[in-house]
A and B are shown apart, each in its own frame.
Chain A
Amino acid sequence: MSEPASNTARPVPFRGRGFRPEAKRGAAIVVFVVLIAVIEWGTRTGWITNLTLPRPSDVAATLIELWQSGLLWTHLSLSLSRLVVGSALGISAGISVGVMIGLFSYVRAGLIPLVAALFPIPKIALLPLFVIWFGIDEGSKYALIALGTFTPTIVATYGAVDNVDRTLVRMGQSFGLSWWSIVRKIVLPGALPGILSGLRISLAIGIILLVAAEMLGAEYGIGAYILQAGSLYDLERLFAGVLILSVLGVTISWAIGLAEKRLLRWRT
């Protein structure tokens, strides 16, 4: 009774705030716009010298010029076809080998050490070898991108197959499903989430290797374009090239997100 506060009714204070990420629309755009605006303002006032960073408006002008000259399409179509062919080869082979590792103990025992040995090799170091094996043309670039996407896809795929709920496999066996049915209807759909998230990494590696291959020997392509700009210290063109690559990366990530949304609708 000595403390008057102990007698009065007070609401329980809310303590559960924070630590829960929420979707905030437009935040990314604001960050982007502010960053561009600061750089634009800095380069115009001379606070940022034009040796350090190009003026964003000049980069935009370079891009428009590139588009109008038709060269953008030449570079982009060549780069895209290399990326698509190379990563399609690497990813399809990677998924098949990964599923085999997941399903057969002998394949697992035989190939996992090999994959572990191949994975950390910087694939760019092998480009001269590939030029001898597959020719200086598209072949060596396809091979480089294919090998670069191959190993991470294998690792993601067999991990995903290992993580398929064994009780579902038991269920399939208990209903007398054939081996092939169990693989097709239980193992593969169950491994799909893991395979798709592995694709994000594989394709990002694919883009990096695409640029590397084009820098080492190509007339056209985003990588070649960036290399030329770099040798001339043409910052506007360099940044225009980098911007195209970023857009490519964002587009691929968005496409995989879309695929996940459509194919994995059953997930919570």
Chain B
Amino acid sequence: MQVNAKPAAKLMPDPLPKHGNCLFRTPVTPPNHEKPKDAMDLTLDHITHDYDGLSVLDDISLHIPAGEILCVIGPSGCGKSTLLRLIGGLEQPTAGQVLQLGTPPLGCLNPLTYVFQDFALLPWRSVEGNVSLVLEDHGIRGDAAEQIIADVLARTKLSDFRKALPRQLSGGMKQRVAIARALAVNPAVMLLDEPLSALDAQTRELLMEDLIALWTRQPFTGVYVTHNLAEAVRLGHRIAVLSRRPGRLSEVIDIDIPLTERKLGDPRLENIQKRLWDLMKQEALAADQELLHV
């Protein structure tokens, strides 16, 4: 499985695909020592969660290998976003635990980094100010910060908008700033919480291509929560399907097509998407009905 994931895993320990400025941040890199195993896997170990007695997630066990994107899909209210908050430590599961295996890459400032649906940009800071926000606390200022900011803004095609305020940017641009901010801390795992759901269809398509390009240039581990099946089949190496509330893992599907070969309207992807929909349709319908009764 995952024909495309293996070269990715090999790429990870290589210093080249990391930030060009990694020397800046890790001046003590031992040149001849054994390279650190700088990939990080995540394991969800029997995660169960409830809010005030209302069961949201039920016994979820899942392995998230380094260098791969795992998409989590499920009907509305199945606890996808809760699962993501648990993975990144913004909430504590009622039972079970999230385990990190291996060490985060050198120069990684924030191993588990989120990209939020509503962008979560500080409206009073410019584009570069929003990126530098997450560097300041790690003592990265001046030239070192400047290098990282220039690098991530170039990678997200935002170099011309450094001084712009969030209110001047379109939704797609705002999410690019949020992605740039996430890249700036050189994360081991990116946790994407419906990152394209607040955008229109065309912008979504553009940003999906950007995400694929970013991953191709420097493969990252990703957990991508979405309710959009098309996004899941375009971006996911594996797709985890959750049932309706309480969310259980109903199926995990591997897609062997390399990300770069997945194009809009690919019949193979359409087939997988249709299979996913067949899997989910009854659940989604039931979830919809359930909401009416609550």
Contacts and interface: CB of A to CB of B under 8 A. Distances in A.
Contact of A266 (B123, B133, B137, B185): B123
B161 interface: no
Nearest to B165: A266
Given A177-B137, A268-B167, A171 B116 contact: yes
Contact of A175 (B110, B124, B165, B167): B110
Interface stretch (A53-61, A76-84, A178-186, A202-210): A178-186
A255 to B, nearest CB: 21
Contacts, number: 52
B90 A170 contact: yes
B270 interface: no
B113 interface: yes
Nearest to B114: A174
A178 B120 CA distance: 17
Contacts of A176: 109-110, 137
A166 B123 CA distance: 14
Contacts of A171: 114, 116, 120
B136 interface: yes
A168 interface: yes
User: Which of A175, A176, A177, A267 has the most chain B CB atoms inside 10 A of its CB?
Assistant: A175
Given A181-B137, A185-B133, A175 B113 contact: yes
Given A266-B123, A266-B124, A267-B123, A175 B134 contact: yes
B88 interface: yes
A254 to B, nearest CB: 23
B169 interface: no
A167 interface: yes
Nearest to B138: A176
Nearest to A177: B137
B122 interface: yes
Contact of A167 (B118, B133, B136, B167): B118
B137 A168 contact: no
Contacts of B109: 176
A173 interface: yes
B185 A175 contact: yes
Contact of A185 (B114, B122, B123, B181): B122
A265 B114 CA distance: 28
A111 B88 CA distance: 35
B125 to A, nearest CB: 8
B124 A177 contact: no
B110 to A, nearest CB: 5
A159 interface: no
A189 interface: yes
Contacts of A190: 124
Interface of A: 167-168, 170-171, 173-178, 181, 185-186, 189-190, 264-268
11 contacts: A167-B118, A167-B120, A168-B120, A170-B90, A170-B116, A175-B134, A176-B109, A176-B137, A181-B136, A185-B133, A268-B167
Closest 10 CB pairs of A and B: A171-B120, A266-B124, A175-B134, A174-B114, A189-B124, A177-B137, A266-B123, A167-B120, A176-B110, A268-B167
Given A167-B116, A171-B120, A175-B185, 16 more contacts: A168-B120, A170-B90, A170-B120, A171-B116, A174-B88, A175-B110, A175-B113, A176-B110, A176-B137, A177-B134, A178-B137, A189-B124, A190-B124, A265-B165, A266-B124, A266-B167
